[in-house]
Amino acid sequence: MSDTASVEQRLDAYRAMFSLNGKTALVLGAASGIGKASAEALAALGATIICADKNRDGVEATAAKLNARAHVVDAGSAADVNALAASIAAKHPRLDIAVTTPAIHVRKLMLDYTDEEYDRVADLNLRGTFYFLRAFGRIMSEQRGGSLIASSSVRATTLEPGLAIYGATKAGIIQMVRGLASEVGPFGVRVNAIVPSIVETALVTPLKARPEIFNALAAHTVFNRWSQPEEVGAAVAFLASDAASYVTGTAMLVDGGWTAIDGKPTGLTKTHADA
């Protein structure tokens, strides 16, 4: 924005930064949880959405609500991801935004992990993210622009017993994002990761039956609550927009302060005015 622009012109320019009107966005993992919320957030800001997920019923339901095209895709399959990329390239002149969220974890002590369990977690979380970034990074590099967004976790840096392998894959995603950002930046492509902590989705419903665990996890945040998928979806929408045009190679925390504090807050609430 020029320094000589009027106030209204400058305000209009800021509003335009957050608009996704005229842009096309792919969300892999759109059937539920963070992926579904991300698709909804991107659509709300004006993007044309392409939904993809392994869950046919779920992805078709999301797509129907958003007037979007649905694709059934196994995020851990190179063939599926490459086929999705080829289909999008053939049907759309440009792909401006691509988001991937699928992940799995097996909560189990590392010394008890089987080879099959390791492969299942690493193949979807790490290898699947690689397939996605490679396929859609190529498209965006060729078109000279775009925003790639992957999903990591606070478990990339903070762990507890039973989450070593999951945490390793999530740390690897952050490093892949950083590396790819350095490689495709000259082509106008941005690459970032969201880093949520605890998100209240259908997958954690069984935890609600164990309130001592559910509430203990909430207490790791400064808000003493779980996040909603929409709160993470909003962060995705920011990273997708031109408001984040100078943001790349970033692991964006959406963790409710989980990594800012050392364990459960003490409960002290006295403010400076009360002192």
**Residue carrying the six token digits 């599926």:** 80
**From its phi and psi, is residue 34 left (phi > 0), alpha (psi between -120 and 50) or beta?**
alpha
Catalytic residue among 14, 113, 118, 166: 166
Return the closest-CA partner of residue 96 out of 149, 59, 160. 149
Sign of CA dihedral 179, 73, 23, 49: negative
Confirm whether 118 is a catalytic residue.
Answer: no
Q: Distance (Å, rounded) from C-alpha 33 to C-alpha 163?
A: 20
Q: Distance (Å, rounded) from C-alpha 261 to C-alpha 163?
A: 20
Q: Distance (Å, rounded) from C-alpha 161 to C-alpha 64?
A: 41
Neighbour tally for 7: CB within 10 Å: 7
Indicate the SS3 state at residue 191: strand
Distances (CA, A) of 263 to 161, 186, 229: 15, 40, 23
Neighbour tally for 183: CB within 10 Å: 13
Q: Distance (Å, rounded) from C-alpha 100 to C-alpha 238?
A: 15
Which residues have C-beta within 8 Å of that of residue 49, sequence separation ≥ 6? 25, 26, 27, 30, 39, 42, 43, 63, 66, 68
Catalytically active residues are: 166
